[in-house]
Each structure stands twice: as C-alpha cells, then as structure tokens.
Structure 1
Amino acid sequence: MTHSIRIALLFGILFSTSSLMGQEKPVDPKVAAAVEWKPLFDGKSIKGWKSINFGGEGEITVEKGSIILGTGDPLTGIVIEKAEGLPKDNYEITLEANRLEGDDFFCGLTFPVGDSHASFICGGWGGGLVGISSLDGMDASENTTTGYKKFESNKWYRIRVRVAGGQLQAFIDKENFADVKIADHKISTRFEVDITRPLGVSAYRTKAGIRDIKWRTVKEAEKVEEKK
C-alpha cells in the first residue's frame, strides 16, 4: 500500500468518525410526544370546559381567541369537564391571563397536586397580591408564598404552574413566585373555589381574558426549575 493511499484511508476514517460524532442522537418519538404541549382550549369555544355555577357569576364568552370571564358577584370561572387523563404529578400547566376590568384577582388557577389541589392567585386582595392558596390552611395572603406584583390592565401575562420532583412552583412570565416542598405542607383550596377542582380558572369581581391554556409532562431532567 502506497503512502498516498494510506493517507487517503486515514482521512476517510477520521471524516467518518467526526461526522458520526457530530450527528445528534435520534429522538425517541415516545419521549418527544411526552414533553409536547397539549392544548386545552381551541380558541373558538369553551368545548371541554363548563361555566361554574357560583351564584352571581358573570357571563362566559369567547372573543378573538380568548375566553372572557365576565365580572362576577363575586366569582366567575370555568372548570374542565373531564378529569380523565389529567396529570397529578410531574407536569406543568400554562395560560395567558389579562385583567380587562376590575381590581382584584383576574386569574385564580386551580390545579392538581397529587391527591390534593391548590390555586395560584394572581392580583388578589386589592389588585397586587400573588401566592398559593392554601398552605397549611393559610391562603395566599398569609403563607410563605405571599408576594406582590404591579399588574397593568389590558396586558397579557403568562401564568405557569409546575408540580414535579416533590416541588410546587409557580411563575408569572419568567419570574418565580412560589417554590414549595410539597411534603412539608398540607395543600388545599379555599372552600369558595373548591368547585373549580380539579382544573379551573376563576376571577373575583373582575372581568378577565384567558387564552392559550395548555399542559405538558415534565421531563426527568427538568423536574425542578431554578429560580430566575
């Protein structure tokens, strides 16, 4: 074998090896499907949801791709019709919410936490309070997750909750407002919103817009998200 042939073979081997090393591993379709966002609102109707009979609730309509929760006296909300297949752990749910009128919470997102449930309150108690309700019998205004944020009317906010890796986390846009170790607390909902379980959204004396509701399974590597 001549020297030139040896060099050509060597470069061929190196090229083949580097090409293989540069290739991404094929993604298992089952894994990919498990982490894809699954929509819960079609943007046209409340199919899959129903209006909650709080007594004094406002009208539920769909306008320009958003569910409109009319101002209630005091509450208006929707709840998912079928709980079958709804996750209880290792998942996250997200939606966009907008305070259209009023000055109290425009998004009370109720969601499963194992065999219990909790609500993430955005804009309560006069318009700026944020927190999880309830922890150890204490609502969003009086537990360790109590926080405050200035909300603008007619502005969309991305609301997200994550239940995974033994933690309950809640975010508004990219800001983390709750990071709770589930095993350390008794988690429940306030009796006024028990009717929004297992998955529902409500607003208090406030007209609100809700859109882009979806959920996904949380991958093992992402079970706890770092605070930002």
Structure 2
Amino acid sequence: MARSGFIYLCCILALITLFTSCGSTDRKNSYQIQNHTPNIPEGWQALFNGNTLENWEITSFGTEGPVKVSGGSIVINYGDGCSGITWTDTFPKVNYEVQLEARKMVGNDFFCGMTFPVNNEFCSLIVGGWGGPVVGLSSIDGVDASENETQVLKNFEKEVWYTIRLQVTETTIRAWIDDEKLVDFSYAGHKLSIRPEVSLSKPFGICTWMTTAELRNIAIREIEG
C-alpha cells in the first residue's frame, strides 16, 4: 500500500473511533439526565418514578395546560382552569398517608389540589387557593375550604418547595405542610364532597387552578386505623 493510502486509512479509522466515542458519551449523558431517582422515605411506596407518568394520566378537564416530566418533577402548566394528573392504578379508601413536594412557579391560585377517597366519599385538600393563601378541605357539608372550619391562611412563596402530607383515617383527615399541622378534622357526622371541576380527579388526583406547579417525591403508605 502506498504511504499516502496508509495515512488516509489511518485518518478514517481515527474519525470512526472519535465519532463512536462521542456518540457513546452523548447517550450516557442523556441517560444520566433522564434517570432520576425519587427521594422516598423508608416505608413509603413511590407513586412517581421521577422519569415518566407511569400509572398517571393527564386529566382531561378541557381547560388544562400541558403536563410533562422534567428534571425529576412533574410540571403542570397552567390552563384556563384546572390542569392536572389522575392516578390510574389501585388506591386505598382509608387508613393511608400521601406525601409529596410541590412548588408554585407561575400564577396566584392553588398549586396543589389533591382529591382523595375517604371510604366511599371524596374530598380535596386545597393548598394555596382563593388568590393564594387558603389551605383547607373542599367540601365539608357543601361548604368550600374558603368558608368552612378547616380554613387556614398561609403565605406561599413562588419557586419554593413545600412538603405536603395528607393522612386519612377511619375518623379523621389531617394535613401537614413542612411538618406544621394545618388540618385536623373529625369527619364523623359530616358530608364530604368535591367541587364539580375536579370530578375527573377521582379516585386520586392532583391539579392546579390557572397556576403552573411542579411536583416530586410523591409517595404513599398504609397506616393503622
């Protein structure tokens, strides 16, 4: 083989090796970026794997904004009303706790409207509703969180993560935000219900109202009655 031909062949082989190496690195980096592991406490079961909407569906409210998974979080973009996701797998009716982290990015209304079962009824925990400060249960005896006995006012800053924990027992609904108990309601003798806007969130769903929010580290555990 002529010297020029040998040099040409060596250059071709070097280029092939370079491109193959770069492609492998790109694939590895892409996998690392997409492979997020949720931070779930011991004894809890993850409801969100950090990478896909497995066992969730985007709720077809008709007013919803786009929903996507990005950076290990579920991003619920605001629409003309409710936007959110609904759980499609089995879900307990009582004696359970749900925990998640949520933050408000854009908008001034609730960034976590969590609809959940209570035996054969349903209720919603509203975090940041009615212009931003209201926390409470909707609805109690037909009265919304903004007006019933569970109403609490709390300031929520944008782009700040809040840990929200909901507990449903055979007698009581409790809720904590960053370990501060804000709801402690004994529901015996009361009628629990949800607003028509979130009926598609049953049996368990999370939505926002004209607000963009991010959710992560969603988990559940069963508890003693």
TM class by shorter chain equals 0.7 to 0.9
Give the corresponding residue for 2:25. none
1:81 alignment counterpart:
88
What amino acid does structure 2 have at the position aligned with 1:99? K
C-alpha displacement of 1:183: 1.0
State the AA in 1 paired with 2:109.
D
- The gaps in structure 2 that reach 5 residues or longer are 1-41
RMSD over aligned CA atoms reads 1.2
Q: 1:113 to 1:165 in 2, by over 3 A?
A: closer
Report the Cα distance in structure 2 between the residues aligned to 1:165 and 1:117, rounded to whole angstroms: 13
Following TM superposition, by how much is the alpha carbon of 1:185 offset from its aligned partner in structure 2, in angstroms?
Answer: 1.0
What code does the residue aligned with 1:120 have? L
Give aligned pairs, total: 184
Whether the aligned pair in 2 keeps the contact of 1:36 and 1:217 (CA below 8 Å) is no
Which residue, 51, 56, 60 being the options, matches 1:49?
A: 56
TM-score (norm 2): 0.79
Measured against aligned partners, the alpha-carbon deviations of 1:45-78 in whole angstroms (never above 9, x if no partner) come to 1110000111121001111100000111111010
The separation in 1 between residues aligned to 2:107 and 2:117, in whole angstroms, is 28
4+ residue segments displaced more than 2 Å? none
List per-residue Cα deviations over 1:128-183 (Å, max 9, x = no partner): 11110010000111100011100000000011110114111111111111111121
Q: Given residue 218 of structure 2, which amino acid in structure 1 is its aligned partner?
A: I
- Give the TM-score normalised by structure 1: 0.78
Matches within 5 A, 1:1-228: 36-82=43-89, 84=90, 86-219=91-224
Spell out, residue by residue over 1:98-132, the C-alpha distance to the aligned partner (whole angstroms, 9 max, x if none). 00111100000111111111110011111111110
Unaligned runs of 5+ in 1: 1-34, 224-228
% same residue: 44
SS at match of 1:45: coil
